[in-house]
Amino acid sequence: MYVTISSPHEGVASDKGLSDRPPTLPLTRLAPERHLYYEGDKVERIYQVKSGVVRLTRLLEDGRRQIIAFGYPGDIVGFPFNGHHHTECETLTRVELQPYLLTHLENGRSDPALHASLLQAALREIAAMQDHFMMLGRKTAQEKLASFLAVLADRVGIKTGEFTQIALPMSRADIADFLGLTTETVSRTFSQLRKNKTIALNGVHVVIIRNRAALNALAEGDHG
């Protein structure tokens, strides 16, 4: 969900649990392209992504789609409102999720540390969404894609020698629906960044950041 937040994570590390106590519920494992829940479903548990990537989506009646967030390891998905899900959640890759009972979010009687962690996750989510607003409302296509890649590089980039590499498990259409663009525009913008020599592509699903400074500059609006 926090593929929007610019600063490195100060909160929950991806490989740690949310509480010192052992989790009460077993891990949920899902194959790629599976639904975890749908919009309108009753919320019984919320999940921390332990490995893999999920997608949170909202739909308009006429089929327009907005991807609210991509959930990477460490992220919490499934925050309820009035007891129901208001997005749908699908897996992009094979995924492992740690479920938590909703009651642990709602009160801290049984496990105060877990409760506090879940609350912090909710607050982090609010902060992340505020960044995403700026991106959707006020950035150009190039700035949007550059911001997206920059955040991913910070969160899940892998240093390979001189450069940073990132895997993109999602399609161009997913990226478009996350950034408020069309697939064609996303594709064209990738090509621009490639011609810029800011990035290189290794297949469609692997991006190599060749010039991180330039990427950051483009993300903030230095057109050049």
Partner DNA sequence: CGATAGCTTGAGAGTACTCAAAGTGGGTGG
Partner DNA sequence: CCACCCACTTTGAGTACTCTCAAGCTATCG
- Whether residue 12 contacts residue 75, with contact meaning beta carbons closer than 8 Å, is answered with no
Q: How many residues lie near DNA (CB under 7 A)?
A: 20
- Whether residue 199 contacts residue 210, with contact meaning beta carbons closer than 8 Å, is answered with yes
Stretch that binds its own copies, among 15-23, 27-35, 80-88, 195-203 (CB under 8 A): 80-88
Examine residue 57 and tell whether it contacts DNA (CB under 7 A).
Answer: no
From its own copies, DNA, none, interface partner of 24 (C-beta below 5 to 8 A by class)? none
Q: In the beta sheet, which residues pair with residue 206?
A: 167
Examine residue 66 and tell whether it contacts DNA (CB under 7 A).
Answer: no
Stretch that binds DNA, among 90-98, 99-107, 127-135, 198-206 (CB under 7 A): 198-206
From DNA, its own copies, none, interface partner of 108 (C-beta below 5 to 8 A by class)? its own copies
Burial 164-201 (b: 16+ CB within 10 A, else e): bbbebbbebebbbbbbbbeeebbbebbebbeebebbee
Rounded to an integer, what distance in angstroms lies between the CA atom of residue 57 and that of residue 66? 6
**22, exposed or middle or buried, with CB in 10 Å at 0-12, 13-18, 19+?**
exposed
CA distances from 221 to 56, 60, 129, 196 (A): 27, 30, 20, 15
x-marked contacts with DNA along 103-142 as a string, rule CB under 7 A = -------------------------------------xxx
From 186, 193, 209, 215, residue interacting with DNA (rule: CB under 7 A): 186
From its own copies, DNA, none, interface partner of 220 (C-beta below 5 to 8 A by class)? its own copies
What minimum distance in Å lies between the beta carbon of 202 and DNA? 9
Rounded to an integer, what distance in angstroms lies between the CA atom of residue 156 and that of residue 140? 24
Give the binding site for its own copies (CB under 8 A). Answer: 10-11, 58, 60-62, 64-66, 68, 79-82, 86-87, 105-108, 112, 115-116, 119, 122-127, 129-130, 132-134, 136-138, 177, 179-180, 220-221
